[in-house]
Amino acid sequence: MTSARITLARDFTVGDVPRRLFGSFVEHMGRCVYTGIFEPGHPAADESGFRTDVLELVREMGPTVVRYPGGNFVSGYNWEDGVGPVDSRPRRLDGAWHTLETNAFGLHEFMDWSRLADVEVMQAINLGTRGVDAARELVEYANHPSGTYLSDLRRKNGAEEPFDIRLWCLGNELDGPWQIGHKTPEEYGRLAKEAAKAMRYVDPTIELVAVGSSNSGMPTFGEWEHTVLSHTYDEVDYISLHAYYQEHDGDAASFLACALDMDYFIESVVATADAVRAKGRHKKRINLSFDEWNVWYQRGLDTEDQLHRVQESGWREHPRLIEDEYTMTDAVVVGTLLNSLLRHGDRVHIANQAQLVNVIAPIRSDENGPAWRQAIFWPFARMAELARGRILSASVSSDRMSTDQFGDADIVDASSTWDEENSQVAVFLANRSLDDAAEVDLTLHGFTASGIARAEVLQAPDGADRHVSNTSDNERVRLQNLPGVRVADGGVKLSLPALSWAVVVVDVTV
């Protein structure tokens, strides 16, 4: 048995919960779009071809903002290919994922889908093979009301009112040699600055995200952010971060502690951005957009082999690609990554779990078949629902575990929010131990626990090991009631099963 004490104080807060923290990502990659969110002819498809079974799960999961259309895909994409009459749109080769893009789904379709899903759009532009002109023209097409060639073309194509897209990504992962149009930080910084200026000349109300490092292990990490922001600081609002995690060679302990790397990544980028601010004597702060993150088995499931097989099979439409099947272990890790993002919500104002459907996704669907929730669906869904109000600064004193990659880590990981309107404190907890339950003592200062409004836990079902996962006909990993949670001495006591993620919502008085 392990133990942890979590102390929360009403007067010690990080900031307001940024609602855009619970974002997702739709890319023209594999089966995310085609047979994912869009499958004309499916029994559950509506008149627009949108899968209503997938839409129902998206609404249940609760993402607030969705990034589109990529990802690596966007660095070779012409946005004009995805507008106008569908039967007149060109078929193109997509070099990023070696697929044939039909362009049957484009900007108008995504905007229609986003309204049904009740999500904000985060639009990425191509700064790989294209530049300033295409960027400003896309803003004019999307956001200008009428009276110009491009705004009137949008109206001719069926959208009388502007799309009013607020969030824009200035390219994608251009620090990576794999990226179409890969650039040095100087090259990208200059281009991003000029694209941002031109876009804001068209619509000064938009918010812009500069490309940061693709992961904290990139050889240019730190230098990239410093150089890019030295060029773009006055023109952008956010710098991006991307990170994917996986279990290596059975090292479960390091995998379960990988949120420590996310903490380090975030805090390093904040420090770099603030150093550029100080050097340039800028008044505003640059905040962070963690617009790609998830568990992704890039070696364990032989992603390179998958891509090689796709290439050998020739140019095909929406082949299966990196459709990871997520386990109970993965769900606990995703819960800790969400905790890291929430704990840093004063500076991480946007985050997008990649991706939404089929491709390393919380939601899976079969072509002409059912849709279902993966194990990682649940921590995201509950945090998107219940993390409201102010982020509390959680002081955690926990027994520790040893890891090869990150040294010692807390066995119990936590984040918390204070919803003053409903007089509730929500605590999001993970037990990283594979073997031992954890006794948790929640101490409150500035408010007193009066009851337990909700207590749920995600754990492997009886008889299953940590690798248990969900399938189309058996969603074995699901939230269930967490027994034994009780109010004691104005605080809360509870027991977390081994390898579990839980949420406890406490009614409080002040």
Query: Which active-site residues does the annotation give?
Result: 173, 292
Residue 106 DSSP symbol: -
What's at 445, amino acid-wise? Answer: H
Give which of 460, 386, 396, 461 is closest to 425, Cα–Cα: 386
Q: Is residue 184 left, alpha or beta, with left meaning phi > 0 and alpha meaning psi from -120 to 50?
A: beta
Rounded CA separation 301/313 (Å): 19
Cβ–Cβ < 8 Å for 353, 24:
yes
Q: How far is CA 214 from CA 163, 193, 233, 261, in A?
A: 29, 19, 19, 14
Rounded CA separation 349/20 (Å): 6
Rounded CA separation 290/197 (Å): 23
Cβ–Cβ < 8 Å for 231, 372:
no
Cis bond upstream, residue 69 (ω within 30)? yes
Identify the bridge partners of residue 3 per DSSP, sorted by sequence position: 439
Q: How far is CA 120 from CA 111, 140, 166, 170, 449, in A?
A: 9, 18, 8, 17, 35
Exposure on the CB side of residue 13, measured as CA atoms within 13 A: 15
